[in-house]
Every structure is written in C-alpha cells, then in structure tokens.
Structure 1
Amino acid sequence: MNRKAGLTVDQFRSHWISVHGALVSKLPRLRRYEQNHVIHAPQGGSGFKSGGDRVDGFSELHFDHDDDMREALATQAAKSMVENEVNFLAQVRVVTVERIEVVPPPTTGPFNKRISLVRRRSDISHGDFVREWQGIHAQLIRSIPGVIGYRQNVIVGRQSPKGREVDYDGLPIDGVVELWFPNPDAPATAFASPEGKEALVHTSTIAGAITTFPVEPLLIV
C-alpha cells in the first residue's frame, strides 16, 4: 500500500487503523487481519541488492480457503472497504500467497519485524526458485542466531493495481519474507555471523533483488 499524496505518515496511520481497519474487520470469513506499518528508516542487516520498491504498509488478510476470500470480497462490506481506499491510498497492489511458517514467530513483544519482497534471478524459473527457497535456503535462515521468527510466502496470484489480474511481468515478485529479530540491532549482527554469511551467499544464487522494510505490526482481528 502507498499513501495518498499530501497525507503525513501520522494521518495515513490514523485513517488506516481507525477508519479502514474497522471496515476490513467486517469482512465475512476473515480469520485474521494484521496491519504492518512501514518504519521509514534504512533497512540495515543483509545489505543485499534492493529492488527499489516504495511501500507505506502491508495489509495481511487471512482466509481458510481461496473461495472464502473471493466470496468475502464480493460482499457489501468489501465494497465499502474499497470505496474508502481513495480517501487515504494512492496505490494498492495485491498478492495471494501460500504461507510456510519455518520458525514460529513470537506472539508478544518486544521484537523487530521486517518484511521483504523477493524477486528471483532472471536466469532461473519460478519453480526452481521456490524449490531452492523452501529447501536449502529455509534451513540456512533457520540456523542464523537471532532469528526468532521466519515465514515464507510464495506468490500464487497478482493484482496490479488492485482488481486487475496481471502476470509476473506486471508484478515481478516471487515471494514475501517475514522475519523477526529480538531488537532493531539484531539483523546486522545476525547477517554478520558465519551462518548469516552462508545464507547470504546462497541468497545470491536464487534472488535477483530483495527489498526490505522494517515494520510495526498491529493485529486488528
């Protein structure tokens, strides 16, 4: 999500939480709803090549099944939600994902959370990327000291802008990473460790760009 021009970060945050959050919460069959407010600060940590994406927030909506999601988004509650988006958002892109929880994240703080958009190398297929990412790479990240939570989200559907289905060229992202550390300084220490360096070497064999955003998560539903 990208905020509307002219809105301050505080205005964007306030509207997203108090107004839009209440509308999204009314969606039927919604199992979980989390807002991730981007902290506009240098990403730190791995130093891997960034894709240059600019994002102000990530909204996570969880449904049991794809059909549940589609039925919910066809309701009047969803219509009201979409109508409100123009009041505070300039751009919304949507990905549908299949999630793997490699290291169960903490449920209470304090902690530092980061969300990364991952684009594969141009010389490997999406299938090869996913197999390597979910296999060797998952185990390497799990071994890094200081990693207290790790989720892999494989993208299976794309809309850019929201409501318009596109192919990979329309939204060239293969996966979304969620990583938790005990504090803001921990990522730099983690990726400087022998385990972290080994993981970064492997990252370079499958990823072309990784854009990382420190976020403040807020659980709504």
Structure 2
Amino acid sequence: MIHLIFLCARRPDVDRHEFLRYWHDVHAPLAAGLPGVRRYVQSTVRPVPGQAAHYDTVDEIWVDDIAALDALLHSVKYVRSALGGAGNLVDPGPCVRLHTTDHVVHAGASIARDESLPKRMTFFKRKSNLGREEMLRYWRGTHGPLAASVPGLRRYVQSATLPAAYEQGESRFDGAAQIWFEDDAALQAAVCSPRFRESVKPDEANFVDTDAAVTLSIEEEHRIVWPQAA
C-alpha cells in the first residue's frame, strides 16, 4: 500500500483558527472523496511555545498501489483540492508531499477511529555519505529496534520515501518516523527517559542529517476514512 503524507502551512496572513476550520470542515470531505482512497487521517500540528510554526496540518492518505496513486494525482478532484495546491488559505512554499511505504516496527494495540492520540513525526534527510538503500538498512535494522525499546510507546511506523521519488533528483526527505503514545504524560516520559536521551537520540546522527530533520508534535484527530480493521 502507498502512503501519501502532506505537510501543509497556512498563508502568513491567515488566522490559524480560520485555517483549521477550513481544513476540518471544507477540505476533509474533499480529500476523503478522492478516487482510490483507502484511509485518510487528518492531524493538527501542535504549536510549540517560543518556536516558529513551520506547518499547521498533516494529511495522510493510503491507496492500494502505484496505479491507484497515479490515478489519484491526475484526477480532477485532486487538482481542485488544497492538496493539489489550489486552496486559497494554503501557503504552497513550505508545503511538502511525500510518497512512502510503511514499515511497522511496533504494531501495538489497534487505534480506533474515534481515538485522539498524541504522536511525534520526524521527517529526515539521510547523511550525505549514505545511499538510500544503506540508510534504509540502518534505519530498519539498527535504529528501528532501538527506538521501539523506548518505554511507553503505543505504535511505531517508519514511512520510507519511494524510489521513484528520486528519479527527478533528491527528495526533500527520505522518510518519516511516526511514534504514537497513549497520552501526553507517556510522550513526555518517553522523550525524557534515559533510553531516549542517551541511546535513541544520539543514534540518529549515524544515518540522519540532524540539521535538516523536522520533528513535529502531532494530534491525530480526524479519521475521515478508516477501515474497521485498521
């Protein structure tokens, strides 16, 4: 299955609450109605006090395969949607679209459609001396199990950018790490734990360009299309 991830930001002159109302009430039905969508999750980026907010929302769409992805991206509905760049509240400059496949490191308990869970998403670029395949082997074989050992996580998924994304040059990001927690207390305990600070975080430097990484605090809250078995 192909997993599309959209990082979106509002225009500088647009109020955040206005933007989120549009995103939830107007944009969500458009995205959910795109052809071939198997799952659609809409998340809000939590503002961090004292830090500039580069993104406001994250949209995630799953389709069956490359053919379904191609059909979606060339559909009239997609071109007219904000995901296609036509939203009049969206700032297209910082927005990012990734085409990925998921590798589940820690499945955890199933996430229900109506659950609202805190999540960390880290978008990263590999170190300049590593090829994509070498990076992928380290991420999955070494760093993944290490990160999965952090106490209190609910689910951990690695979303790697598809090889086709590199046909026109380097992709902005090579992938995204996604870790869910039961609640904010569990998230804070995990990132403050010795395991995370002394082992997991330092290990990122072995395969990630840490200066280019973007970590977001996410609130998953709108699962518009969500299979019963997911």
Paired amino acid for 1:125:
G
Partner in structure 2 of residue 203 of structure 1: 204
- For structure 1, the 5+ residue unaligned runs are 44-51, 160-164
CA distances 1:147-198 after superposition (whole Å, capped 9, x unpaired) = 1111100012559xxxxx8521xx4311111111222243343244343222
Choose the corresponding residue for 1:24, options 19, 28, 31. 31
List aligned pairs for 1:1-221, cutoff 5 A: 1-41=8-48, 54-82=54-82, 85-91=86-92, 92-104=95-107, 106-108=110-112, 109=115, 111-156=117-162, 158=165, 166-168=168-170, 171-196=171-196, 197-209=198-210, 210-217=213-220, 218-221=222-225
Residues 47 and 53 of structure 2 are in contact (CA less than 8 Å); yes or no, is this contact kept in structure 1? Answer: no
Looking at structure 1, the residues matched to 69 and 116 of structure 2 have their Cα atoms a distance apart, in angstroms, of: 32
CA distances 1:54-93 after superposition (whole Å, capped 9, x unpaired) = 2221111110111112112222222331577331101132
TM-score normalized with structure 1 length: 0.83
TM-score normalized with structure 2 length: 0.80
Label 1:144 to 1:130 Cα distance change in 2 as closer, same or farther (>3 A).
same
Label 1:110 to 1:25 Cα distance change in 2 as closer, same or farther (>3 A).
closer
Looking at structure 2, the residues matched to 115 and 64 of structure 1 have their Cα atoms a distance apart, in angstroms, of: 23
Secondary structure of the structure 2 residue equivalent to 1:124: coil
Paired amino acid for 2:223:
L
Looking at structure 1, the residues matched to 186 and 47 of structure 2 have their Cα atoms a distance apart, in angstroms, of: 18
- For structure 2, the 5+ residue unaligned runs are 1-7, 226-230
Tell me the C-alpha RMSD between the 2 structures: 2.5
Larger deviation: 184-193 or 88-97?
184-193
Looking at structure 2, the residues matched to 126 and 117 of structure 1 have their Cα atoms a distance apart, in angstroms, of: 15
Query: How many residues align structurally?
Result: 206
